[in-house]
Amino acid sequence: MKLQFTKMHGAGNDFVMLDATREPLHVSREQLRQLADRHLGVGADQILVVEPPPSPDVDFRYRIFNADGGEVEQCGNGARCFVAFVRRQGLTAKRAIRVATHAGVIQPRLEDDGRVTVDMGPPRFEPARVPFDAAHLAPRTEGGFELWPLDLGSSGTAWVSVVSMGNPHAVQRVDEADAAPVAEQGPRIEHHARFAQRVNAGFMQVVTPHHIRLRVWERGAGETLACGTGACAAVTAGIRHGWLQSPVDVDTRGGRLTIAWDGGASPVLLTGPVAHVFDGTIEL
Ligand SMILES: N[C@H](CCC[C@H](N)C(=O)O)C(=O)O
């Protein structure tokens, strides 16, 4: 099958964008993995498939697949690249676009400075169910909210906040992001028995109440240069624990994201850059 694609990235989190608005695409899980493979295919953290609107109240639907071929609920950096992609494809001239995802409808908006702001909806904090390694340790409380212990065997214990942005995140505070044990603890957290659907693992260094450095070991992709939903999860957890105040600049290895959140059930706003890299065709 000959497949046209567009390569994009949002702060270094890179994507293969596929346009399935004119005709349906049938790509197997193995073909998705090949597309994402950095040696045998195009190479990407995720693949985004843009489809026609499923209902009149939205403009499009998009589906997200991790590099391992698994379909997931949400992708913050992908949502920004989606806006640039559909405009570049001539599929819309709108700047604010309503798009249906597995996590619900989100509304990304192209800003005057070329960045894109995405209303990611409200965070959901999961009161960790016991037994959540509670057999070993009691939870800690920071700012009135609990951090829960994840027993990682020889990699020690990670004290995490569990946050959903539609997709699951386990976020821990570290002293130095650059020195964080991402490669060692990331996969152990991703596959921890506590998370039936696996989880994204965030490592957040608080620089000031309005500035963090963040690294994320992503479910189904490994460490990425940036993670949009991971930035939302880290900032909302940090605000809740009293470590951060909105808005917060999030420095990732791939660039800067900015998160704003007024607390409670208010939406999380994610703003950041998008970049078009190249268009291509691949034989699968
Ligand atoms: N790895 C994530 C999906 C991609 C999220 C990330 N790339 C973002 O920008 O939010 C998951 O399995 O939930």
Q: Which domains does the chain have, with CATH numbers?
A: 2-119+273-283 (3.10.310.10), 124-266 (3.10.310.10)
pTM for this model (two decimals): 0.96
Would you call 81 a catalytic residue per the annotation? Answer: no
The residue whose CA is least distant from atom 12 of ligand 1 is: 219
- Kindly report the backbone phi and psi dihedral angles of residue 69, in degrees, each rounded to the nearest multiple of 5, phi listed first: 90, -5
Could you write out the DSSP letters of every residue in 192-247?
A: -TT-TT--EEEEEEEEETTEEEEEEEETTTEEES--HHHHHHHHHHHHHTTS--SS
Ligand 1 cavity residues, CB under 6 Å: 13, 45-46, 64, 66, 72, 75-78, 167, 200, 218-221, 224, 227-229
The residue whose CA is least distant from atom 3 of ligand 1 is: 75
| Catalytic residue from among 199, 227, 248, 250 | 227
pLDDT at residue 144, rounded to an integer? 80
Residue 57: CB atoms within 10 Å: 9
Written as six digits, the tokens of 40 are 């045998």
Q: What is the mean pLDDT of each run of 10 residues along the chain (284 residues)?
A: 96 98 95 97 98 97 97 96 97 97 94 95 78 61 84 92 95 98 98 94 98 98 98 97 97 98 97 97 95
pLDDT at residue 128, rounded to an integer? 58
pLDDT at residue 59, rounded to an integer? 98
76 is in an annotated binding site: yes
Alpha-carbon distance 266 to 189, whole Å?
A: 28
Nearest to 163 by CA among 125, 217, 200, 121: 125
- Kindly report the backbone phi and psi dihedral angles of residue 227, in degrees, each rounded to the nearest multiple of 5, phi listed first: -140, 115
Q: How far is the centre of ligand 1, averaged over its atoms, from the C-alpha of 35 (Å)?
A: 17
Nearest to 178 by CA among 205, 201, 156, 139: 205
30 is in an annotated binding site: no
> Which run of H or of E encompasses 80?
helix 76-88
Q: How far is the centre of ligand 1, averaged over its atoms, from the C-alpha of 273 (Å)?
A: 16
Q: How far is the centre of ligand 1, averaged over its atoms, from the C-alpha of 200 (Å)?
A: 7
Alpha-carbon distance 19 to 50, whole Å?
A: 5
Q: Which of 75, 118, 120 to mutate to test the pocket of ligand 1 (most atoms within 8 A of CB)?
A: 75
pLDDT at residue 136, rounded to an integer? 59
228 is in an annotated binding site: yes
pLDDT at residue 84, rounded to an integer? 96
Q: Which of 47, 64, 268 to mutate to test the pocket of ligand 1 (most atoms within 8 A of CB)?
A: 64
pLDDT at residue 127, rounded to an integer? 67
13 is in an annotated binding site: yes
Q: How far is the centre of ligand 1, averaged over its atoms, from the C-alpha of 74 (Å)?
A: 6
For residue 144, the one-letter residue type is G
For residue 212, the one-letter residue type is I
